[in-house]
Structure 1
Amino acid sequence: MELRQLRYFIEVAERQHVTEAAEILNVAQSAVSYQITKLEEELGVKLLERVGRNIKVTQIGKIFLHYVKNALKTIEEAKEKVDEYLDPQAGTIKIGYPTSLARYWLPNVISAYKEDVPNVTFHLRQGSYAYLIDAVKNGEIDLAFLGPVPMKEPDLESKILFMEDIVALLPHRHPLADRKSLSLSDLRTDPFVLFPKGYILRKIVVDACLEAGFEPNITSEGEDMDALKGLVSAGIGVSLLPESTFYDSVPHFSVKIPVESPKVMRTVGVIIPKHREIAPSEKNFYQFLIQFFKKLNQFK
């Protein structure tokens, strides 16, 4: 069984046409048919069958296709790892990130790193808090930004990069909109707009409200930062969001106000696997992150 045969089989199975597959592969149609016939003879089963002018994948062919695609994906990833060891400055860095870091910190950090290492490639994957933790654990990605940083996960190495305040976002016509700061208890009668259940930022806000002596009245939900900001701007309710999500601007028809009591904060950092070695390109980026934020924190 050769890699060439497997690639030919995948192309024909997905296109269900030998001629089209041969054109994409830039080889003769007879060569494609010959290699697939050899593959079927070796396996002892029919993977494809002709239906008129098209090709149909047999039932066992569909099962074989599933495993072959996964196998080739693993082989390609293995080759990428080898390439990274040969040249860490031109590898691929797979990063997971939450929506709360997507607008400001992520593009700034990547842009800064690309200035030093221009040939590196980034593969970015947005996900929920729980997903990103699991993805690093199971090897789907090797590095993820998180806020707050999980410090008690035995399979993860967690590094806090900085701390940030969680601030209140109010509609501009809110009675407290002209305040320089406020206590969380000042919002006890307000409707809240928060992330849905299961989102870590919702838990942070709910826990802070309970600490302030009340349970928030959550009347609306949004699954991304812009949605929540839009709901507040529309006067639907108030929200509590990380301060860094306002570094570029505060949404129209809303005001950002610091929360003084209780002080609501979160850690922001990066996680990598503790018991699995990461690639040199990712290791270089990890060390860059530590130094990048160390310098920033010195100037705060």
Structure 2
Amino acid sequence: MAAFNLSSSEPSTFILTGIPGLEAAHIWISIPFSVFYMSSMFGNFTLLFVVAKEQTLHKPMYLLLCMLALTDIGMSTSVVPKALLIFWFNLKGITLGGCLTQMFFIHMVLAMQSAIVVTMALDRYVAICNPLRYSTILTNAHVAKLGLVCLLRAVFVVLPLPLLLRAQPFCANHIISHTYCEHIAVAKLSCGDTTFNRTYGLVTALAVSGLDLMLIALSYGLIIRAVLSISCKKATQKALNTCTAHIGVLLISYTSCLFSFLTQRFDKSIPSHVHITLANLYLLVPPVLNPIIYGVKTKELRDKVGKYTFRR
């Protein structure tokens, strides 16, 4: 197989190695992958089912939760099935088209999730700072339109990444030291000048994350100002409690993602298997924890889930 990988100059097939240096433990590594994936599917599909069935949950906040659940499902499904094929059956080959498609969906879902988290911050801002106008400012139709904007932004920002790589010549070595087709990992295999590709990827990631974090910080700055002006201690605590679930999702989504992104590009002292493990964790952990956080912290949702669970 190694001879085939190194002799062919046609970029028709790439080889995903999995986690380099830990090949002997792939079977054991597949266990947490499977558990994370099944937990993510169960939690997010349960959330979608309950919100769809319960008319009382057809509100902007829960519509945003459904969008977040769909991105979680897409994120896990873009990575885990192929990773398990590598771990279980040593099926490491992936076509150029399949590789670029996987790359597009992974990065697109990440960009869309970031935009949805921003929209959720806007939802909390309106709910706390303009509660009397909440039902008119954020209707289900308005949230659906915001969701469409999030999707279009993600598509237009991420689409140049695979298109630029598709135009690049590739070297004889088609081995990708990763469990999935990450942009930088694929760009490293090109024989051409990938300076623009790398610069576009870096600038786009920092610009999108930076802009989204600024908007979230602005929203919470306004929320804190509004909360501090409330004289009633119980009302202040209630207002802050409505934000705890979103803050939990925010910390999980951005902390692991930014840490993996920055260490992969700027800290060469960290071993490759640690980089790749982190890159997998930030795609596996948030889809599992997001529905749990909202299920625990949102009483209305928790009660509805409990109704269906105990009835079963």
- Asked which structure has the greater RCO (Cα within 8 Å, sep 6+), the reply is 2
Structure with larger Rg? 1
> Which structure dedicates a bigger proportion of its chain to strand?
1
> Which structure dedicates a bigger proportion of its chain to helix?
2
TM-score (norm 2): 0.23
